[in-house]
Amino acid sequence: MVFMVAVFVTLKKYSFLEYVVATDRLSLGVGIVGLSYMLFRQIQFLVDAMQGQVESPTLSSYLCFQVNPFTLLAGPIQRYQDFQAYWQDPAPLPMDRHDILKAYNRIFIGILKVVVVSILFLRGYNVFQGRLEPPSGVSIGPKSVGYLAAMLYCYFFYLYMNFSGYCDVVIASASLLG
């Protein structure tokens, strides 16, 4: 467990490492995506295995669980036991026309959240951030507090809509693929 966390901290290139390790040793030519998520999946697997909840894991099923292309970047979160059950019997769930249309609708709504709604909130964030910076010689007043609150809410909604839309697309796409 300590080794996994040490590797994670090293690969993430946290700034405090510059005081501990030479900076030339930290320069990796590889960009790592979903690293935090992969660490959480490893910890979940180890904890469940130590508690006896994981029965007879194999290296191939663990590697497929860990680097699953549908969940590698950011989820959605899936336990190893659920993945293993499907890995042993990969029969897709039967889908009728209604389920297929529901999945396509969720993909469409997810794309709208990411491409339209989250971008609107990001623009709102940028507008309020620009209004928050007063010209030189002007003191910060009550309006600035309102701009700060609006800026923060816009950013939180941007993050929520972006992640929510991404999850909608991934979940619906995975359901179409069984």
- Check whether residue 84 and residue 109 sit in a common domain: no
- Check whether residue 103 and residue 162 sit in a common domain: yes
Q: What is the pLDDT of residues 113-127, one digit of tens each?
A: 999 999 999 999 999
Number of domains comprising the chain? 2
pLDDT at 29: 46
Residue 149 is part of which domain span? Answer: 97-176
Q: Which of 19, 53, 88 represents a domain boundary (last residue)? A: 88
- Check whether residue 83 and residue 6 sit in a common domain: yes
Residues 6+ apart with CB under 8 A from 143: 131
pLDDT at 30: 46
Q: Which of 44, 66, 88 represents a domain boundary (last residue)? A: 88
Q: What is the pLDDT of residues 21-75, one digit of tens each?
A: 555 555 554 455 556 677 778 888 888 888 888 887 888 888 888 777 666 665 6
Q: Is the pTM of this model over 0.95?
A: no
CA-to-CA distance for 23 and 25, rounded, in angstroms? 5
Residues 6+ apart with CB under 8 A from 74: 34, 37, 163, 166
CA-to-CA distance for 8 and 5, rounded, in angstroms? 5
Q: What is the pLDDT of residues 88-111, one digit of tens each?
A: 777 667 778 898 999 999 999 999
- Check whether residue 113 and residue 80 sit in a common domain: no
Q: Which of 88, 123, 146 represents a domain boundary (last residue)? A: 88
Q: What is the pLDDT of residues 128-160, one digit of tens each?
A: 888 877 666 566 677 778 888 899 999 999 999
Give the CA angle between residues 76, 81, 87 to the nearest 5°: 85
